[in-house]
Amino acid sequence: MTSTSPWSSSVKYSRLPKSEWDSASQDSAAIDFSSPFNFESAFTYSKVMPPYVEEERKYTPSLLTRICTSVVVFLGYALVFLTFPISGFLAIKMVQQFERIVVFRLGRLQQPKGPGLVIVLPFIDKWRRVDMRTRAFNVPPQQFITADGAAISIGATVYFRTKDVSLSIASVQDLNHSTRMLAQTILLNTLTPRSLKSIENDMNVMNQLIREEMNTTTNNWGVEVSKVELSQVTVVQEAVDGVSLDKLGTIFSQLISGQHSPMPNLAHMSTPPSALMTALLPPSQPRPSPPRGATQTPMVTPQELLSSVKPFLNEALVADVGAVYKFVVTGSNGGTFFLDLKNGSGDAGSGEPPDTPDVTLTTTTFDLHAMFTGQLRPYAAYMASKLTVEGDRGVAMKLDTVMQQLREARC
């Protein structure tokens, strides 16, 4: 025989174990939390679908609202019937097998209609036609720096289709634009933390990861991403030797804080930390300024700069590059200069180049000096809008290798 405990109540409260209660205060602490009132919320919420599309509760309009709605809808049908066949051109819609029509009748979302003939009441219904076939769009090539310091450019092709027409209309304002922006963001977030070698070797895995990540969001929009195909990787700048994702945090913290003591894990790096910091910071991040008391490298004119590298030009460098660079330098002592690495043993000087330039580079006097002295990599200057490129961008990015070889020859 079961006995009813005096602690039982319709309200769901759990009593503490008796071991934690003092026997002397047990009776005095007994409180009945039951209530003669029944509180129920008129609203329910869904975390999966938008509440106006698939909600647990069923909205029951008032009697007056239902009467007014019925009268307006009846008059709408009567108007179509009385003015037929003229009204047929406005009210009757032909829906293809791969299409659906979403109707908002007096502001309320109706069930999707189609395929076949669908009647839409003029002046009462607002409707949208939705194509359910698979579509595709291209994500334009995105330029970013990988975990190992490589600068690459890669895009993607995304195939998607609408699987829930009501959600695609009611849950997102501009489906195409939102899906494109989502694909671009997920592409960058997925590939940026990885190395160049990992991206090139695991292309199929990257496609699958991006597709699954996109579906996590697009399923709530009534859209299913069926396939993602990454484009061919274009390597703008090779990976920096000795750089890994685990080391970047240490490198950045020392450089930003102004510490210049050498670190053991950077002793074998071929790229100086200052150049690495300039290359890896995105354009939107401020570059670290030199600490107080530090002296900057004395500036030289572009003419003196090119004259100083001219003796180090050779046939091997010309054979390796095979291009003519034209520099349009603005600022103090600016002008037009050239670097000929296509003819003979190479040449450099002021004025127009003797041959048609393969690429024209526009920059300031200070930035040109920083690039030739290794303080600023050409790709970082290009990404930060400090270097304007007209012509073959691949030839322009070879300038980093040229300047590195010239610095080694001068040393």
Q: Which domains does the chain have, with CATH numbers?
A: 63-131 (no CATH), 135-237 (3.30.479.30), 245-280 (no CATH), 302-410 (3.30.1050.10)
Integer Cα distance of 163 and 31 in angstroms: 54
Integer Cα distance of 53 and 110 in angstroms: 10
| Mean pLDDT, the chain cut into blocks of 10 residues (411 residues total) | 45 49 45 49 47 54 86 89 87 91 89 90 91 93 86 93 92 91 93 90 92 94 94 83 49 42 39 43 44 48 82 83 89 87 86 88 87 79 81 78 72 62
- Residue 189's H or E segment, with its range, is helix 175-191
CA distances from 71 to 65, 68, 84, 123, 385 (A): 10, 5, 20, 14, 64
Report the pLDDT value the prediction gives residue 157, as an integer from 0 to 100. 95
Report the pLDDT value the prediction gives residue 302, as an integer from 0 to 100. 84
Question: Of 364, 328, 359, 365, whose CA–CA distance to 341 is shortest?
Answer: 359
Radius of gyration of the chain (CA): 35
Terminal-residue alpha carbon distance, the chain: 99
Model pTM score: 0.52
CA 137 to chain centre: 15
